[in-house]
Structure 1
Amino acid sequence: MDKVLAKPPSECCFRPGSQQVGMSRGTIRQIGGVDTYISTPDPSGTANGKVLLYFPDAFGLYKNACLMMDQFAAAGYLVLGVDYFNGDGVAKHTTTPLSDPTFDFEAWTQKHLHSSEVIAEIWVKSVVEEFAGEGVRFGCVGYCWGARFVCHQLSTHGICKVGVIAHPSFLKETHVEGVQAPLYIVAPADDELFPHEQRSRAQEILMQSGKEFSVQVYSGVGHGFAVSFVFPFTKAVS
């Protein structure tokens, strides 16, 4: 039986956060028929020739996600953020999912659980066709919903050489067992979806298979902190 390491998203994913201040500078265009947020580095300055795939949380390509991708681009990466919800991220429906009686998160989850995987697979193939080339290396980062996509891209079926996951959900042992490239895990000390026991099990799997990994645990924050720019999460995010 494929044991669960990180549970499905729940209300803890939607604690009130705040939007970052600023205007996003990337553009959206389709890659493989999928809307993609593209943020480019300064070609005359920081560009490092690496491509970073961004797998968002349930809110999708909303303002915080786009501004975070811009920050990665400022560090030298060409950043590609996939809209595997086809414009139907939670942010489209509500900014207060905890208190909005018109939003059915369970139904939304069932709608997108499998389809997002299919869309991501098509998208990655198209990314390779367009951006792969001599000297180009791919990395990836995934938040909550996006964590399992990172693990897949670090497996023998993926294209990435290194990846980061933050406060994962929908993560199973087989996802971690398949990881073949360096993985960096970011997690709260107290996470309802990815508690200490399951986090330790993930580390055990990686250690037993001799994989390269690192785990950073933050106290005083909760699930979703890496994209929730609100005190006391802001210090950990920075």
Structure 2
Amino acid sequence: MTEIDVATKAPESNATEQPAEPIESSPAAGPAVGEHCVTDRPTPAGQVSTGEIIKINDVEVYVSKPADYPHAPARFLLLLTGGTGLKSINNQLQADNFASEGFLVAMPDLFNGDPAPNTTTFASQEESQSLIDAFKLRIVETAKSFQIDMWLARQTEEKVLPILHKVIDGCRDEFADAIKHGDGIYAVGYCIGGRYVLLLGSDAQPTTPGPERPADEEAGETKTGPLIKVGAVAHAASVTPKDFASLRVPVSLACVENDALFPDDVRVAGEDVMSQANLEHEVRVYPGVPHGFAVVGVYEDATIRGAQATAYEQMLSWINEH
């Protein structure tokens, strides 16, 4: 593939197609992240974040506002990060970029003060290494990989979704004007955060079973209706085909070609589900870029830099059009 592959489906585009067979998650499939989910690229020189971190319903949230807000109306955007989390300057700059386009952006701490441990740096290494040094490096990287696996095991739906629900409830009060102006909540997500955009756009929100759950709810799910009006996702991670089954909002996907963290079979299965549901969606596959490319950060490769800018415009255009 030599150029960006684009597929767009309007709600009416598949009205005559036959219903799809139910899709089950592969037993081998499981949550996954990579180094680009948990490690920032170098921050662009001279750029500093301009928002602030506040508490909303006891959750830390980075809030970035348009320069003319509240004198001019703004729409409300929820931004969900990868493993680098709330304190990442690059993530904060990403939020600031959307704020400069007229969105009041709330970026919650999805991980409750527990961002992913840093797996690697992007500093160049000496080309020549002794066998002993190489062996030591392998041991360190194996230990870091184990730490990431342990961290990821803690980031369950039962932990993350209640955080998001608390933030959304709080923002409905704190930023009611922006939500009303945009007629709902817009959402963008990167890496792990991308999966939670899909879940928030679902009419079946997973819950923790307990005695307070209404008797008419299905086990582990509650029918609440989508909590967002539209979503845009870049290089999602930990997604399974099942995550598309109850999706009910228009979604744009910016994907990496041959992405081990969002495999082609999962992406295609998701496209099939959305098409059969006549759900408006857009999919673009970017070749020659690493997972994580769409998040603010410096790349020397001009191809990656260009794709980063294009993916941002893709996501921005999608939410602006909806």
TM-score normalised according to structure 2 size: 0.66
* Bigger radius of gyration among the two: 2
Deviation at 1:221, TM superposition (A): 0.4
Alignment of 1:80-119 (within 5 A): 80-90=106-116, 93-94=117-118, 96=120, 103=144, 104-113=147-156, 114-119=158-163
Contact 1:185 1:216 in 2 (8 A): yes
| 2:268 counterpart residue number | 200
Distance 1:30 1:80 in 2: 11
* Greater share of strand: 1
Sequence identity percentage: 28
Q: Provide, for residues 30-52 of structure 1, a one-character-per-residue CA deviation record: whole Å limited to 9, x for no partner.
A: 11110000000022699552100
| 1:3 counterpart residue number | 25
- Counterpart residue identity of residue 31, structure 1: I
Secondary structure, aligned partner of 2:155: helix
Distance 1:116 1:25 in 2: 26
Distance 1:63 1:162 in 2: 26
CA RMSD, aligned part only? 2.6
Deviation at 1:123, TM superposition (A): 1.7
| 2:17 counterpart residue number | none
Secondary structure, aligned partner of 1:117: helix
Runs (5+) with no aligned partner, structure 1: none
| 1:148 counterpart residue number | 195
Distance 2:43 2:294 in 1: 12
Runs (5+) with no aligned partner, structure 2: 1-22, 123-136, 204-224, 310-322
Contact 2:31 2:152 in 1 (8 A): no
Contact 2:230 2:250 in 1 (8 A): yes
Alignment of 1:48-197 (within 5 A): 49-61=74-86, 62-90=88-116, 93-94=117-118, 96=120, 103=144, 104-113=147-156, 114-133=158-177, 134-136=180-182, 137-156=184-203, 157-197=225-265
Secondary structure, aligned partner of 1:84: coil
Distance 2:250 2:268 in 1: 17
Distance 1:40 1:89 in 2: 24
Secondary structure, aligned partner of 2:275: helix
Q: How many residues matched?
A: 236
Q: Provide, for residues 140-180 of structure 1, a one-character-per-residue CA deviation record: whole Å limited to 9, x for no partner.
A: 00111111211122223333211111111121223212111
